[in-house]
Structure 1
Amino acid sequence: MRRDGFAPDSELGRLRDEEGVRKTPTIFGREVWLVTRHADVRQVLSDHERFSIQQVPPVATAPPMSEEQAAYLRAGNLLALDPPDHTRLRRMLAGEFTGRRIRRLEPRVREIVDDHLDALERGGSPADLVASFALPVPSLVICELLGVPYEDRADFQERSRLILDLSEPIERRRAANIDARGYITELVDRKRAAPDDSLLGMLVREHGDDLTDAELSGIGMLLLMAGHETTSNMLGLGTLALLRHPDQLKLMRDRPETVEGAVDAAVEELLRWLSVVHAGTFKVTTTEVTIGGQTIGPGELVVCSLPAANRDPAFMPDPETLDLTRDAAGHVAFGHGVHHCLGAPLARMELRIAFPALLRRFPGLRLAGPEPDYREFNIVYGVESLLVAW
């Protein structure tokens, strides 16, 4: 999905406003039906029976893979499963991402944020905010939650980069995927030998007889990647957006936390306006469907543009404007339906803590370098680095 700075490519906007749904070629060697309007996107994402995630065919340009390999890479990956398989796995995890559990994590997240702000201040100005803050904070949080050794972060971050980078050859991305699964499998073996209080330890202790090692490694890998990639890119790109909109930065920094819901609403608007995940997962139609007035036959690939949907004028007025005081409820930045992001409460809590803490620690925060490089061909959008001064 092409982007233009913070916004979706103008062609996506025209498609949404004029047609809504169109068949289009992709870099994966297959044509897909692209869905761009907010109401249509929600319809697709909420209907797993007619829009299946589990029956999506392999990428046309990818080398062949055996059924055994495909099953191994699909096992435990909630983003590759429909109900009832998806329901069974998600039910085991849901309790770890409830509001009560997330609130118990909040003091530790505040401590992690403060520790990294201290280190950033000691290191002096200027600094790369991505390397010093936006990436390590969510990485440490998800490592502690899952029970992954933080000293291994450089390796799994490099594997994540390869897996999500669509400009990399498919062979390299698949090899990184297999390597990452192997790493998590070794970690699962250690948890089986000595279960601890981490999320992976809990899964082994409470569901170890119901989950295969492949499922456990798939769950762990998905949570590890999603837990740091999306939040870190929101922190980096979100800070850039606020620096480019100083009136909105002031709102995020200065509104007291005693104003109920103010920071929460600001985070939701940033999530909507930035939509760092370009698209919902690919779906395949199981029957003839009509979406946005377009009839699509069975066995067709469908993909939803989340940035275009979140800036749909039919969803909210003046959607191109970043307005941290608006009610952005109903956005699809975390998806929708049964595959709505399981870790959304954790991501929201991290962002709600990190943005105000950063801006209050460095009230004179400003850009200190050239236009940053955007992650144009990545599944998760963001900036590679962000040089700031204070």
Structure 2
Amino acid sequence: MNESYPLPRDERRPLAPPPDFERLRREAPVSRIRIWDGSTPWLITRYEDACAALADPRLSMDFTLPGFPHISPASALRSARLLPFPFRPEADYRRQRAMLLREFSPRRMEALRPAVQRAVDDALDAMESGPRPVDLMAAYALPVATRVICELLGVPHEDYEPLHALSRTIASRTAPKDVVGRAMDEMDGYFHRLVATHKAAPGDTLVGRVVAQDVLGGALSDEDAAAMFQMLFFAGHGPSAYMIGLGTVALLLEPAQRERFLAAREPARRSAAVQEVLRYVTVSHNARQRVATADLTVGGQLIREGEGVLVQLDAANRDPAVFPEPDRLDVERAPVHNLAMGHGIHLCMGRALALIELDVAFESLWRRLPALRLAVPLEEIPFKHDENLLGAHEVPVTW
């Protein structure tokens, strides 16, 4: 047990997971690893084991249980506050998740495609009328992803950037506790005020509908609602923004794959191509955290009640037993469920919206800017590895 989490990445392969995951998949697919507080949870790196762990009800996401593996000071600090519903006992999780399922139905998400297209077109209009080179993250990926989730929730436009800045601090692996704590206070206060605003005058937005039906109806407290909406903001803008940015980088580096992606007109083929980009990049490079509520065996390894478990999605998505030549981007790869957005009951509720965002974002980008290219060599792009999501501080592009 010499490894400390997170494992070091190979800077020459910025979109690939740490190379040690490949060795662990072969030699010790369920093994102990040391995290920041000195504890030693189990790390799972193989696809089959990851699926089994994510689907096993004996592995809980309840932050409050003894032995839960907090992989950063920010994670531990959050456990002392009111937790969003995914990180609470299963009964709470299922009850609050049911309140949102109606909001994230595939039909309702498909009805948002025109709004996604408007957000994409407006960002591209601004890019085309501005100077070059331009930072793809600041000019395109973040504005599109943030606008889509904020319009869905009902967050005013002027609040987009301050909320994103707070979310980056909260998601940091390295920010001091006091800094994270102040950011959490500000974020908590914002979403409490949003709930109060919609209690006074519910709007026709996700927040307004949940407040009208569940908060005013007595099924959901103001505090639980604020935590729910804050979680949806986190989950809805960061992963999508970084996937737009880094997915674009991946496709720029592979011209033949980009052409095949754009040639995939049928919905099923395009969806499979988007899924392959998700698998290949997997921006959720923090492991899924779980704690065992009973003894169980995963991958032949006994895990005792009270022991922490980390399920490494990006490692599982590069498992050659499931994805032949896993380090190769292949948008025509036969569809296999990848774990970029989770698995089991904690599969991302916004999965359908995320797939629509990426489809529209990639297709529109190259339809409007077919000569798009990186403005600097790959090694000069400042990738960031100190947050919960793999990202880049900026991605300079031109055309």
Tell me which interval the TM-score lies in, with the shorter structure as reference length.
Answer: over 0.9
Residue 51 of structure 1 aligns with which residue? 59
Q: What is aligned with 1:300?
A: 307
| Contact 1:110 1:353 survives alignment (8 Å) | yes
Task: Judge conservation of contact 2:286–2:389 (CA < 8 Å) in 1.
Answer: no
Question: 2:365 maps to which residue?
Answer: 358
Q: 1:298 to 1:256 in 2, by over 3 A?
A: closer
Describe the SS at the equivalent of 1:171. helix
Instruction: Provide the C-alpha distance between the structure 2 equivalents of 1:79 and 1:116, rounded to a whole number of angstroms.
Output: 32
Task: Tell whether 2:211 aligns with 1:231.
Answer: no
Closer, same or farther: CA 282–61 of 1 in aligned 2, 3 Å: closer
1:135-176 deviation per Cα after TM superposition (whole angstroms, max 9, x unaligned): 000101111100011101121111100011102113322331
SS at match of 1:283: strand
Counterparts in 2 of 1:64 and 1:290: CA distance versus 1, 3 Å = closer
Structure 1 counterpart of 2:139: 132
1:156 maps to which residue?
Answer: 163
Q: Could you report, residue by residue, the CA deviation over 1:195-223 in whole angstroms, capped at 9, with x for unpaired residues?
A: 01010100111111111111101111011
State the secondary structure of the residue aligned to 1:88. helix
Q: Work out whether residues 74 and 180 of structure 2, in 8 Å CA contact, stay in contact via their aligned partners in 1.
A: no
Measured in 2, the distance between the counterparts of 1:86 and 1:185 equals 20
Contact map agreement 1:35 1:302 (CA 8 A) in 2: yes
Query: For residue 268 of structure 1, what is the aligned residue in structure 2?
Result: 275
1:389 maps to what in 2?
398
For 1:134 and 1:357, how far apart are their aligned partners in 2?
A: 12
Q: 1:206/1:377 Cα in 2 relative to 1: closer, same or farther (>3 Å)?
A: same
| Corresponding residue for residue 101 of structure 1 | 108
Q: CA deviation at 1:280?
A: 4.1
Report the Cα distance in structure 1 between the residues aligned to 2:42 and 2:392, rounded to whole angstroms.
28
Q: 2:19 aligns with which of 10, 34, 55?
A: 10
* Residue 62 (structure 1) shift: 5.0
2:40 equivalent in structure 1: 31
Correspondence 1:222 to 2:231: yes
Structure 2 length normalisation: TM-score?
0.92
Once the two structures are superposed, residues 311-339 of structure 1 have per-residue CA deviations (whole angstroms, 9 ceiling, x without a partner) of: 10111211111000113431111011111
Percentage of pairs with the same residue: 39
Query: Could you say which residue in structure 1 is the equivalent of 2:3?
Result: none
Contact 2:36 2:71 in 1 (8 A): no
Q: Which amino acid aligns with 1:131?
A: A
SS at match of 2:286: coil
- Structure 1 segment 170-209 matched on structure 2, within 5 A: 170-208=177-215, 209=218
Q: Is the 8 A contact 2:72 2:174 kept in 1?
A: no
Structure 1 CA distance, aligned partners of 2:259 and 2:392?
Answer: 22
Alignment of 1:305-320 (within 5 A): 305-320=312-327
**For the structure 1 residues 131 and 44, does the alpha-carbon distance in structure 2 shift closer, same or farther, using more than 3 Å as the test?**
same
Q: Quick one: structure 1 residues 328 and 168, their matched pair in 2 at CA, closer, same or farther if it must change by over 3 Å?
A: farther
Cα displacement (A) at 1:82: 3.6
Q: In the alignment, which residue of structure 2 is the partner of 1:373?
A: 382
CA separation of 1:233/1:88 partners in 2, compared to 1, >3 Å: closer, same or farther?
A: same
Tell me: CA distance 1:201–1:71, structure 2 relative to 1, closer, same or farther (3 Å).
farther
Residue 58 (structure 1) shift: 7.5
CA contact 2:69–2:308 (8 Å) conserved in 1 = no
1:336-378 alpha-carbon deviations (Å, 9 max, x no partner):
1111111111111100111011011111111112421112111
- Counterpart amino acid of residue 13 in structure 1: E
CA distance in 1, matches of 2:75, 2:371: 53
For residue 303 of structure 1, give the secondary structure of its aligned residue in structure 2: strand
CA distance in 2, matches of 1:313, 1:282: 24
Could you tell me whether the CA contact under 8 Å between 1:46 and 1:336 is conserved in 2?
Answer: yes
> Which range is displaced more, 133-142 or 327-336?
327-336
**Deviates most, 5-14 or 370-379:** 370-379
1:269 touches 1:324 (CA, 8 Å); kept in 2?
yes
**Secondary structure of 2:288 counterpart:** coil
SS where residue 219 of structure 1 aligns?
Answer: helix
Counterpart contact for 1:72–1:214, Cα < 8 Å: no
Aligned length: 383
Q: CA RMSD in A?
A: 2.0
297-306 or 363-372: which moved more?
A: 363-372
Residues 142 and 237 in structure 2, CA contact (< 8 A), matched pair in contact too: yes
CA contact (8 A) 2:46 2:316 kept: yes
Query: 1:71-124, CA deviations, whole angstroms, 9 ceiling, x for partnerless residues?
Result: 6421xx133024211110000000111111011111111111111111110013
Residue 172 of structure 2 corresponds to residue 165 of structure 1: yes
> Judging changes above 3 Å, is the alpha-carbon distance between structure 1 residues 80 and 30 closer, same or farther for their aligned structure 2 residues?
same
Q: Distance in 1 between matches of 2:371 and 2:74?
A: 51
- Judged with a 3 Å threshold, the aligned counterparts in structure 2 of structure 1 residues 64 and 245 are, in CA distance, closer, same or farther, namely closer
| Kept in 1: contact 2:72–2:173 (CA 8 A) | no
Letter in 2 for 1:230: P
| Residue 242 (structure 1) aligned with residue 251 (structure 2) | yes
Equivalent pair of 2:22/2:315 in contact (CA under 8 Å): yes
- 2:290 matched to 1:279? no
- Inter-partner Cα distance in structure 2 for 1:141 and 1:368: 27
Structure 2 residue matching 1:322: 3-state secondary structure: coil
Offset of residue 60 of structure 1 = 9.2
